[in-house]
Structure 1
């Protein structure tokens, strides 16, 4: 059994997508990041960076004590290795998946995240930041679009590289992007959106980017964006 510490953000949804795709038994443990539950001491023992998602695997391959994993890219890689699914067995195919997994965690996610923050969540508009991150998000969409020409999925077969990237393309409108500008990316996106596991993972998930200010209260905004190192010492 996997315990998934979860909020329906793009990074949280990555892990839910994997678990739904594979059919691994899991239990969702909601973490209300708007109320600061990510700073609770019990959660910090699992995710010391006070971020979701995180998992606890109660049946690790080594048959030892429950194993906790944080950081969405590390979780996807751990689960793929555990199950032998959604990652190629051959070295060359595996490296393709890992390169694009790390591309997402170091590029697409952070840049699109800053894009969403300054476009939607920031209490004041900063034109330079909005332009800079919107432009960089568009560049990254272009990189993926070019790579997908002639490929159904990022590494040929559906893999954790696709699962990592898809949730960061879902909020494209909030990120100031038009998917039809990227025909290969658009085709890939619609293919994944139609998968039964994707439909299950996104059931009931609300698009916070459709709301002014992301639908955050002032208190939630302070908790999410006003915390420093001291918050982790709670």
Structure 2
């Protein structure tokens, strides 16, 4: 492990408590399914006088509750959480930015993929950095997002540009979205899809909206038809 990983490992054994809010401080909530990563990040970030970690969460449900209570400026979000697929955090990103339009979401993840960077932007993220970025770059990104600017480390930016310039026009659907799409093709309602896939009706609606957006469809039937032409189902 390099970059912030080394510093987090070295600091994990000594975690300072939260500081009292000060004028001009950036309030941060850390979202990662590994407690040692969250503790290490807290230790690293709170060395900076203008950064204050005001909450931590390991799951989507915890995150929504913590953000509502702590009212942070920034959520530092991993894409891989304790339950679900490898990009469960992507769905959470969309929920957060929809519920809290002024919130700055900065993705901090091990996944380096241009499609994911673009998807994160579409879901409202203001930045995307990989976990082996050095501390200086991470702090710079947090401050940029707090100023309502966009921030990407060099590799994420390059991957995003490559993805956007790719000649392939096939939309990138997550495994969960493909599962929902298959149920749409069988004519199931949102409630029935939720029951079959063991997710809430609200979550189904979220996935259906994303499917339609990615396929450029204006109706469920058009989404199914477009997906069948692309041989996605």
- TM-score under structure 1 normalisation? 0.27
Larger Rg over CA atoms? 2
Per residue, is there more helix in 1 or in 2? 1
Per residue, is there more strand in 1 or in 2? 2
- TM-score under structure 2 normalisation? 0.28
Point out which structure has higher relative CO (alpha carbons under 8 A, 6+ apart): 1
